[in-house]
Each structure stands twice: as C-alpha cells, then as structure tokens.
Amino acid sequence: MVVAPPQSRGPSRDTGAEADVLRVANLGVRLDHVPILEDVSFHVRRGTTLAIVGPNGAGKTTLFRVLLGLVPHTGTVEWSGPVRIGYVPQNFVVTDVPITVRDFLGFKSGAGFEESLAAVGLGGAVLPKRLDVLSGGEMQRVLIAWAVLDRPNVLLFDEPTAMVDIGSQDMLYESLNRLEKNINITVFLITHDIHIVSQYSDAVLALNRTVRFFGASSRLSEPDLLMEIFGSGSGLAEHKHDFGARGLR
C-alpha cells in the first residue's frame, strides 16, 4: 500500500483534521463470507474531489454502499457534521417505464426542478420527456440534477460517464464543473478514466479489496507509481477530452 496524504489543489479552505468531511478507518466488508473490502482507511477534505479507482470487483461500489449506510461493515465510518448525500448510481437504465423527468425529480422534491436542471445545462423543456427516450448524456445529467435537487453537501458518482459517448462526457464534466463552482460540495467519483482522475480530482484512492494507494492525484503522473499501483493491466482507460485551456479546475 502506498499512502501519501493528499493536498487540495484549490485554495485551502481549512487546515487539520477538522477540515475532513469523512474519516474511514479499518473498514471491512464481507458478503456471503467473502471479503470485499479489508482494512480500508482514508480521509476526505471538505470541498475536494476524491477519485476512487481500481479494477472491476475491487470493492469501489461496495464502498459507496457503505457510505450510503446500505451495507453492514466493521471499522469506523465517521462523517464530520450533518451530511446530505446525493447519489448517482452506475448503470441506471430505464426501459419501458412510462415515467417523465418531472415524475422522476418529483420523487425527491416538490420544487426546484428548473434550478437543478439548469445547474447541469438542461432546460425545463426536458421535464415532460419520458426517461426512456433521453440520450445517455441527458440521462446522466438528469441523474445529477436529481442528486443535487435537495442541496446535498456530498455527492457520490459511480462511473457517471460509463454509458456516455466521449462528446457527451465533456458536456457532463462541464456541468459538474459548474456545480462545484456554485455549491461547495465534496465529490466522490468512481471512474476508470485516468484523464478524469488527473484533471478533475484532488485525491485518489486506488482500491483492490485493500487500499493500493491513497494520495494526491497529481502523483499519478509518475509512471513508476502507476506501474506500482496498477501493474501493466491498470484497469484504467485514457480518453481524450477537450476541457479547454483551463481544464476542469
């Protein structure tokens, strides 16, 4: 395991342990007596983005399920202060259900639809559309609008662009960028895209049942470290994104 405490790339808002929104220590999860996560420890500073990477079956989604309080576990998961979590699940596919965007957002809140949709670059015109006619990019942005509808201070994204083409990914991350500017939130992002990790996140947690690396995402530019963490078959993809000269942050 390689552990190097990450530093926020943005302006420092707080210092010390008080700035952590989450501290996880010695976390363990077993499903049907099979260890899924073992001795996982990390911490996340408020207002930063933690990218979670690792091969399929590494326990990334299980970690999210723990953070959502859905899975029994050992060890400690300690949130600092009250948290409202917005969650965007992996592989959310709606087929053959007569449900509109308005219906879907209405499950969570009675108002504020236009504001949430505007935050992800969608207009109110999408409200009467059925979910099963939306494109992959529109669907993901509706999910993000859903996640931010009740003004969360923590967002969990499980591979938000897994089902989206490259062009729509750019739009999606621009939407995320707008959200981060407008709301001071902490983002947890599961991704296989090393480009997103290096450009978008402050810290990275590499999992493969145990912690393989936890530290500043800027260190992933070191080829030796990449090899040490992931080996030759890193399980990471590199996509070309045009985020403009400023990048995402």
Partner 1 sequence: MTESVAYSLVAGIFVGFAAGYVGSLMVLKRMALVGDALSHVALPGLALGILLNFNPFLGAFAFLFAAAILTWYIEKTTRLFPESIVGVLFVTALAVGILITPEVDLLEALFGDITTVTLVDALLAVGISVPIVVVSRLVYRRVVLSILSEELARSTGVNVALVNFVYLFLVTVVVAVGIKIVGTVLVGALVVVPAAAVKNVSRSLSSYALFSGLTGIASAGSGILLADYLHLPAGPLVVTVGTAIFAVALVAGWIASRSSSSASGP
Q: Is 136 among the residues that bind partner 1 (CB under 8 A)?
A: no
Q: CB neighbours of 15 closer than 8 A, spacing ≥ 6?
A: none
Stretch that binds partner 1, among 15-23, 43-51, 104-112, 206-214 (CB under 8 A): 104-112
- Give φ, ψ of 88 to 5 degrees: -115, 110
Q: Is 100 among the residues that bind partner 1 (CB under 8 A)?
A: yes
Stretch that binds partner 1, among 12-20, 73-81, 85-93, 116-124 (CB under 8 A): 85-93
Q: Is 99 among the residues that bind partner 1 (CB under 8 A)?
A: yes
The Cα–Cα gap between 191 and 241 comes to 14
CA dihedral 61, 62, 63, 65 (to 10 degrees): 90
78: helix, strand or coil: strand
Q: Is 31 among the residues that bind partner 1 (CB under 8 A)?
A: no
Q: Is 83 among the residues that bind partner 1 (CB under 8 A)?
A: no
The 181-220 site mask, x for binding partner 1 (CB under 8 A), equals ----------------------------------------
Q: Is 77 among the residues that bind partner 1 (CB under 8 A)?
A: no
The Cα–Cα gap between 162 and 136 comes to 9
The Cα–Cα gap between 237 and 226 comes to 13
**Which of 215, 210, 214, 135 is closest to 172 using CA atoms?**
135
Shortest Cβ 19–partner 1 spacing (Å) = 25
Q: Is 151 among the residues that bind partner 1 (CB under 8 A)?
A: no
The Cα–Cα gap between 159 and 190 comes to 5
Q: Where along the sequence are the contacts to partner 1 (CB under 8 A)?
A: 65, 68, 70, 85, 87, 89, 92, 94, 96-100, 102-104, 106-108, 128, 130
